[in-house]
Structure 1
Amino acid sequence: MMTYNEDDVNAAMDSLTQSHIIANTQADISEEKRSFDDTFSLQFSSLVASTTDGDGMASVKTFKSSGVLRAHVIKAESCLLMGILQLAQENMTGYLKSGLNFKKEYGDQVLKWMDKDTASGVQFGVGTLHLLLSSLPEKIVKIFSGLAWKTDRVLGLTLLNSVMAGKDTRSSFGSLILLSYYSLLSSSVPSIYAQEFIQPTIECLVAAQKSHPKSCFFLYYAARISRVARNVGLSTQSFTMATSSTRRGAWAEVAMKHTVAYEVGLNHAMQLDWDTSAAYFEQLCCARDWSPAFCQYFVGACHEMQGQRQEAIDTFDEVPLLSRQQHHRKSLLDNYVQNKVERHQYQNYRDLDSSLPGLELLLLLNAFPSMEDTHLQRCLLIIQETCEPIKLDGIYGLDDDGDKVDNGYDKKNGNTSRMTCYCTLLLLKAAVLNALSRHSDCVTDLEWVLEKKQLIESEGWLLPFVYYETGVTYWGLGNQQRSRDLWQLALSCAKHDFEIRIAGRIHLAMEKCDQLGIVSSSKSANGRRRL
């Protein structure tokens, strides 16, 4: 659960830093140098509880009090939460700082002889760290190279399930981390994980809601699960209930209100209710809590999807100004919308005739797999209607066999922007068809785009998303090795706005390939040559 208000993030970091300082002070004071008499007494008491090692020598146990152990756990948990906050900023500085905090957290978790609540805290921290690091792409994990830690996803799940079942001080937190993890897998790569994890997610949620039936956090995740299950209407109801369950004046009220406004606005966009969606994002833009530039762009995209061209242009024109005015660090989406509007302005908005900005946002947010079939069919019609004038203008024609061929595209003076728009439309079409499980209908368009990949280099994010979507297509067709090869190619595309985000999706997909023993064709070929 995140707020993107930098003041809130800084306040949370300050609180966690203070917690770390206080806990560290308590641990240091408790372990300060003792007098000779105290040391002799302590060593004598420890000898009573000594054990014998493999050489027959007595090894002395040094016991720590529960207060000291809990201080270490609080230090470690503060570092863990600071690391998660920094990781969520999606920038290189945040990744480096989070790596340092994870390293501190790892060092403080190696403890023994603790009571049930303290042990639960350690299980929570170690389990969370295992799940978190196992979910990160290699590009980020390399930043944590100083962390002497081998991730174990199964161990992380086991520890957090134990915490959740223990019904102690960390039980609710364990449930939230598990729900976050299941939600991440199901929403990032739904074609692979949605069906697999829907049942354990529901079981985890039901168990958590028995103890906290009115918790806004668990209602929020109930809404996320409903969306993954493609019941967007029920998802909207659950999000609304999450807001209603937050007490007026409570610490989470404003953050929950804005988070739910974003999610409900997205849900309405997924139902192609662009007018209502625009109202929610306009509300967020005025609140200046979330990214004003992104919310403003979303409003403009909603106007364009309703055919309100002038309103869309007026709204888009304000995006660069809002982007320059915002004080917090720019997110990936902030960079995307600013670049997008600048290109529209350079073209004097002529390229809007061959663009569908609302559907493009749904693609980037990976929303198509969670949409209902009726809305997906409408998207398909909208895309085909937008493609038709471009086809008639001669970007490509059809030969006698019905295959696509180049038709008069002048590489020297050709309209690369129009080609980019057309390839984006074909990508949108493929994503919708994949969501409808019509995988075989995607192959021709996607392979054609890949043949023209040198013509779409101006839109940095487009080619890796084409590789990713083509991989999803071949996964649905049962050619998992081809999928892995394509996802590997997507990882080779660097220096675009969504590099880390697409790398995260592909990392989770490749994990499934590893579990199934699917290797890339290049590795298979090398193996055959060695044989």
Structure 2
Amino acid sequence: MGSNMGDEEHVSVDEACEEAEEALKLFLQGKFDEAEAFVEERVRTRERDPEVVPIFTHCHAVILFAKAGITGTEEDRKQAMEMLKEAAAKAREHIPKQGWVSWGMGYFSSPKVQEITEEELSCRIIEAESTYLSAILCFFEESMAAFFRAALLTRTAIGGYRHCHSILKSQQAGSRSKHNVGAVKLGFGGFSLAISLLPPRVLRLLSVLGFPCDRAAGLDSIDQCLQGGGLRAPVGGVLLLSYHVILPSFFSIPQEREEHIASAERVLDILQTNFPDSFFLSFYKGRLERLQRNLTGSYESFQKLEKGLNLTTDSKFFKLRHAWVYELGLSHMLQLEWQAAEKFWEELEQDSVWSKAFFAYLHGVCLAMSGEPKAAALRFGKVHGLMRGTISGRVLAEEQYALRKVKDHALDTEEGVKGLQGQICGVEFLYLWNSFPQMPAAKLEGILHIVEEAETRLNAQKYEGSGDEKGSEDLSEDDEEETPEDEHALCNLIKGTALRELGKLDEARISLEFVRETTCYVQTELFLIPMAAYERALLLIIQHTQRASHDASRASDFDLLLEAKKELALAEGFKQDFNFLWRLLGRVHAARGAIQNLMGEERSTTVEANGEEWKDSEENVEGAPSSDIFFDAL
């Protein structure tokens, strides 16, 4: 690549990026097949010459990556992974090869930046970005082997971004393309944000503790990508919305809700101006309204998608429809409208590629909660036959959970469905999906009513049983102590969490204290013990903040927070394996971060001064990515 071609290629690269923006706009508007056809045609006509930067191949890979992220299916992940590899390989052909000596010197010190064309810089960015997106797809597998592969890919991608950042710093402001500057900002922000969300335990296992993970700096960098425009701006906006709207459902804590809502509203306003009538914006608006406990408004947003996006069955993107079908079914469950939710789970049970077994289980759950034990038992009985087996060497956590519940509690029989596990299986699902913080007070009261009724029936049955055994001399006190208390523990965990969300902290504490490993024998529902410890930690955090707000002099009294730390250690250190372990570890990590903020502690992998150094670097080099502290640390 001679430098005499630089000006011509610089223009062509920018024009290609602007055309690729049109494809992303089509995708964001829900015109999925048109978007894919657009980039496929550009690949055929514009990239026939091997000297052309593979921008459209990469854009096609990004579209398939988004598809895989929405559907969650292994087939879509594999397709996206192959296209990302192809884009990286094409881009690599434009990058001069390094000798072993220069490569070794570059690993231990910053590479010497020579005069590099915009074309080569774009190819380096495409290679780094494709590698990074491949790493994210590995995380979807939720296994240690996948995490290790993701760590290796992440390290490779960081090296690529580091070089691109050095190039941009060395160039004059006028020679930079906004598309390339935005790409490096997005890369730095995405890395910092993603790594900051991983629990320290996972970071240690992946040997990536050396990666800087300043979450605030990462979010700011992604925001700069959004504000600066260019090809990656809408991607940055979607990433910010995912963090503020989707992630709180899994790894955030209730105390951070208002901050997430305010940030999401600001990002939505920016994107709404640039991408009106966007499919993605309607989807995120529905999730945001749910986060605000506006379940009616949330449902209407997802209904708008159902009516507005008429995907035909022959569309390659028809499976994307399952995303809002799932949201509609969940919306009804959050409203405790079990019968109304049935049809959505039935559709997914028949058509889902991700997991027919799990949706059959949810269908059975809604039938059980609607008082149809016979139909529910039949549906639960289908779960085992619909299991997909292993995916990437593992069984889906959701399928493991569903099958275990059916087997352990005989939910495939009418008698099992009529038992306590069948009577509260719906509210247990809502609890495990961290839905209580998104439910209004009236629905939480409904949860308490369902659990208390089931618990009353359970106690009545036990009294009847104890009457039959009266007079038996063979039952020792030791045997009585070993009687499993899973059902009472489950009821108390659900009640305690719902009461905490209703602000009834004293009652919540009584219920949650029941579920302790030292005093409560749990046989099958192993998740109850660590989950209860986590919920007690959140309760203590709330008590601290309330006490500090009423009496400012007590803000530095950390006794409740120190107790909360102990509870989080119990949750994280629970020795037995249980369903959804990774989700709990993520929540523990978020809660520990909240405690550190309240206590004014610095996180082990974050330096408070980062923000200042980062801002200074941007002032020194106009338009350069504000990520010096990140790349210099490598």
After TM superposition, is the score higher than 0.5? yes
- Which residue matches 2:526? 460
Find out whether 1:340 has 2:392 as its counterpart.
no
- Which residue matches 2:296? 233
2:311 touches 2:318 (CA, 8 Å); kept in 1?
A: no
Q: 2:131 aligns with which of 79, 82, 88?
A: 79
SS of alignment partner, residue 248 of structure 2: helix
Paired with 1:32 and 1:60, the residues of 2 have a C-alpha distance of 14
2:178 touches 2:229 (CA, 8 Å); kept in 1?
A: no
Q: 1:137, CA displacement in angstroms?
A: 1.3
Q: 1:98, CA displacement in angstroms?
A: 1.3
2:253 touches 2:591 (CA, 8 Å); kept in 1?
A: no
Find out whether 1:126 has 2:188 as its counterpart.
yes
Which stretch shows the higher mean deviation, 188-197 or 212-221?
A: 188-197
Paired with 1:229 and 1:273, the residues of 2 have a C-alpha distance of 19
- Which residue matches 1:437? 503
Decide whether aligned partners of structure 1 residues 241 and 437 sit closer, same or farther in structure 2, where only a CA change above 3 A counts: same
- Which residue matches 1:507? 589
2:332 touches 2:338 (CA, 8 Å); kept in 1?
A: yes
Paired with 1:314 and 1:504, the residues of 2 have a C-alpha distance of 35
Paired with 1:411 and 1:164, the residues of 2 have a C-alpha distance of 64
Paired with 1:351 and 1:447, the residues of 2 have a C-alpha distance of 28
Q: 1:7, CA displacement in angstroms?
A: 1.1
Q: Which amino acid aligns with 2:127?
A: K
- Which residue matches 2:479? 412
Q: 2:318 aligns with which of 242, 251, 254?
A: 254
Paired with 2:354 and 2:434, the residues of 1 have a C-alpha distance of 20
Find out whether 1:17 has 2:81 as its counterpart.
no
Q: Which amino acid aligns with 1:193?
A: E
Q: 1:290, CA displacement in angstroms?
A: 2.7
Paired with 1:206 and 1:22, the residues of 2 have a C-alpha distance of 37
Q: Say what the alpha-carbon RMSD is for the aligned residues.
A: 2.7
1:3 touches 1:9 (CA, 8 Å); kept in 2?
A: no
Decide whether aligned partners of structure 1 residues 234 and 199 sit closer, same or farther in structure 2, where only a CA change above 3 A counts: same
Decide whether aligned partners of structure 1 residues 369 and 411 sit closer, same or farther in structure 2, where only a CA change above 3 A counts: farther
Decide whether aligned partners of structure 1 residues 347 and 216 sit closer, same or farther in structure 2, where only a CA change above 3 A counts: closer
Paired with 2:315 and 2:272, the residues of 1 have a C-alpha distance of 21
Decide whether aligned partners of structure 1 residues 252 and 101 sit closer, same or farther in structure 2, where only a CA change above 3 A counts: farther
- Which residue matches 2:342? 278
- Which residue matches 2:258? 195
2:241 touches 2:284 (CA, 8 Å); kept in 1?
A: yes
Decide whether aligned partners of structure 1 residues 517 and 137 sit closer, same or farther in structure 2, where only a CA change above 3 A counts: same
Decide whether aligned partners of structure 1 residues 380 and 9 sit closer, same or farther in structure 2, where only a CA change above 3 A counts: same
Decide whether aligned partners of structure 1 residues 2 and 140 sit closer, same or farther in structure 2, where only a CA change above 3 A counts: farther
Paired with 2:318 and 2:337, the residues of 1 have a C-alpha distance of 25
Q: 1:145, CA displacement in angstroms?
A: 1.3
- Which residue matches 1:364? 432
- Which residue matches 2:626? none
Paired with 2:459 and 2:191, the residues of 1 have a C-alpha distance of 51
Task: Determine what percentage of the aligned residue pairs are the same residue.
Answer: 25
Q: 1:492, CA displacement in angstroms?
A: 0.6
- Which residue matches 1:528? none
Find out whether 1:517 has 2:585 as its counterpart.
no
1:300 touches 1:311 (CA, 8 Å); kept in 2?
A: yes
Q: 1:345, CA displacement in angstroms?
A: 2.7
- Which whole-Å deviations, capped at 9, do the CAs of 1:109-148 have from their partners, x for residues lacking one? 0121353211111111111110011011123222431574
- Which residue matches 1:401? none
Find out whether 1:490 has 2:571 as its counterpart.
yes
1:127 touches 1:160 (CA, 8 Å); kept in 2?
A: yes
SS of alignment partner, residue 433 of structure 1: helix
Q: 1:518, CA displacement in angstroms?
A: 6.7
Alignment length (residue pairs): 481
Which stretch shows the higher mean deviation, 116-125 or 317-326?
A: 317-326
- Which residue matches 1:164? 226
Find out whether 1:265 has 2:345 as its counterpart.
no
Find out whether 1:477 has 2:543 as its counterpart.
yes
Paired with 1:273 and 1:129, the residues of 2 have a C-alpha distance of 40
2:91 touches 2:123 (CA, 8 Å); kept in 1?
A: yes
Paired with 1:76 and 1:247, the residues of 2 have a C-alpha distance of 36
- Which whole-Å deviations, capped at 9, do the CAs of 1:15-50 have from their partners, x for residues lacking one? 111111111122147x799xxxxxxxxxxxxxxxxx
- Which residue matches 1:386? 454
Paired with 1:323 and 1:248, the residues of 2 have a C-alpha distance of 27
Find out whether 1:294 has 2:358 as its counterpart.
yes
Decide whether aligned partners of structure 1 residues 290 and 415 sit closer, same or farther in structure 2, where only a CA change above 3 A counts: farther
Decide whether aligned partners of structure 1 residues 337 and 481 sit closer, same or farther in structure 2, where only a CA change above 3 A counts: same
Paired with 1:366 and 1:323, the residues of 2 have a C-alpha distance of 24
SS of alignment partner, residue 312 of structure 1: helix
Between the two structures, name the one with larger relative contact order (CA 8 Å, sep ≥ 6).
2
2:377 touches 2:411 (CA, 8 Å); kept in 1?
A: no
Q: Which amino acid aligns with 2:563?
A: R
Paired with 1:132 and 1:156, the residues of 2 have a C-alpha distance of 9
1:215 touches 1:242 (CA, 8 Å); kept in 2?
A: no
- Which residue matches 1:311? 375
1:185 touches 1:193 (CA, 8 Å); kept in 2?
A: no
Which stretch shows the higher mean deviation, 250-259 or 88-97?
A: 250-259
- Which residue matches 2:240? 178
Paired with 1:367 and 1:306, the residues of 2 have a C-alpha distance of 20
- Which residue matches 2:50? none
Paired with 2:476 and 2:462, the residues of 1 have a C-alpha distance of 7
Decide whether aligned partners of structure 1 residues 206 and 195 sit closer, same or farther in structure 2, where only a CA change above 3 A counts: same
Q: Structure 2: state its 5+ residue gaps.
A: 1-68, 101-110, 169-175, 464-474, 545-559, 602-634
Q: Structure 1: state its 5+ residue gaps.
A: 34-58, 396-407, 520-531
1:270 touches 1:367 (CA, 8 Å); kept in 2?
A: yes
Find out whether 1:109 has 2:147 as its counterpart.
no
Paired with 2:193 and 2:315, the residues of 1 have a C-alpha distance of 28
Decide whether aligned partners of structure 1 residues 154 and 214 sit closer, same or farther in structure 2, where only a CA change above 3 A counts: same
TM-score normalised per structure 2: 0.71
2:493 touches 2:532 (CA, 8 Å); kept in 1?
A: yes
Decide whether aligned partners of structure 1 residues 337 and 282 sit closer, same or farther in structure 2, where only a CA change above 3 A counts: same
Q: Which amino acid aligns with 2:597?
A: Q
Q: Which amino acid aligns with 2:532?
A: V
2:496 touches 2:510 (CA, 8 Å); kept in 1?
A: no
- Which whole-Å deviations, capped at 9, do the CAs of 1:331-389 have from their partners, x for residues lacking one? 21111111111112399665542221111100110111111222211111111111113
Paired with 2:584 and 2:315, the residues of 1 have a C-alpha distance of 33
Decide whether aligned partners of structure 1 residues 88 and 416 sit closer, same or farther in structure 2, where only a CA change above 3 A counts: farther
Alignment of 1:20-35 (within 5 A): 20-28=88-96
SS of alignment partner, residue 2 of structure 1: helix
Paired with 1:23 and 1:246, the residues of 2 have a C-alpha distance of 35
Find out whether 1:69 has 2:135 as its counterpart.
no
Paired with 2:88 and 2:308, the residues of 1 have a C-alpha distance of 31
Q: 1:424 aligns with which of 477, 490, 496?
A: 490
Decide whether aligned partners of structure 1 residues 351 and 311 sit closer, same or farther in structure 2, where only a CA change above 3 A counts: closer
Paired with 2:414 and 2:89, the residues of 1 have a C-alpha distance of 54
Decide whether aligned partners of structure 1 residues 26 and 223 sit closer, same or farther in structure 2, where only a CA change above 3 A counts: same
Q: Which amino acid aligns with 1:501?
A: R
